[in-house]
Structure 1
């Protein structure tokens, strides 16, 4: 997983690229800690360049949702494509998470 982060006002932005898999769990948790420490109101994770995801990666989005709820920030997944979009829809994660097309 490659992640580029930035912040605009009260929104934290993360752009993911490459693959999001089990071995990225620690790095993803570190990103969640950064978001919480920044005391923002929302986080947008841009998935437009994420090429693949496994079940652990999908689970990380659920961890992010719960972390946000516990710490006062909302989560939006933006622009999933191809394989990533298909798995989000197949697993009905788009019903649990805010996913912008």
Structure 2
């Protein structure tokens, strides 16, 4: 997994690329720390370039949500497609984390 962050006035958009798996735990922890430091209250994970997510990746997204709650930031997932969208749907993540198209 790779990522890029674009900080705007109202939100920070983090674009995830590649695959989000158990092996990305340390990298995602670093990313979560960066998101907590961003000035905008709204933190968006853009999943449009994410090709694959496994169950550990889903767990890490939930950890990110918890950390953003602690930092008093809004956490949103955006633009999931393909396998990632199917996994998020099956796991019913939308009940926990807002998902935008």
User: Normalized against structure 2, the TM-score is what?
Assistant: 0.95
Correspondence 1:7-46 to 2 at 5 A: 7-46=7-46
Structure 1 ranges of 4+ moved more than 4 A: none
Name which of structure 1's ranges 8-17 and 71-80 shifts more when overlaid on structure 2.
8-17
- The residue that corresponds to 1:85 in the other structure is 85
| Native 8 Å contact 2:8 2:40 kept in 1 | no
- The residue that corresponds to 1:100 in the other structure is 100
Shift of 1:40: 2.6
The number of residues matched between the two structures is 101
Partner of 2:36, secondary structure, is helix
Q: Distance in 1 between matches of 2:16 and 2:66?
A: 19
- The residue that corresponds to 1:69 in the other structure is 69
C-alpha RMSD over aligned residues: 1.0
Q: Distance in 1 between matches of 2:99 and 2:26?
A: 23
Partner of 1:59, secondary structure, is helix
Q: Distance in 1 between matches of 2:100 and 2:10?
A: 19
- Give the gaps of 5 or more residues in structure 1: none
- Give the gaps of 5 or more residues in structure 2: none
Shift of 1:25: 0.8
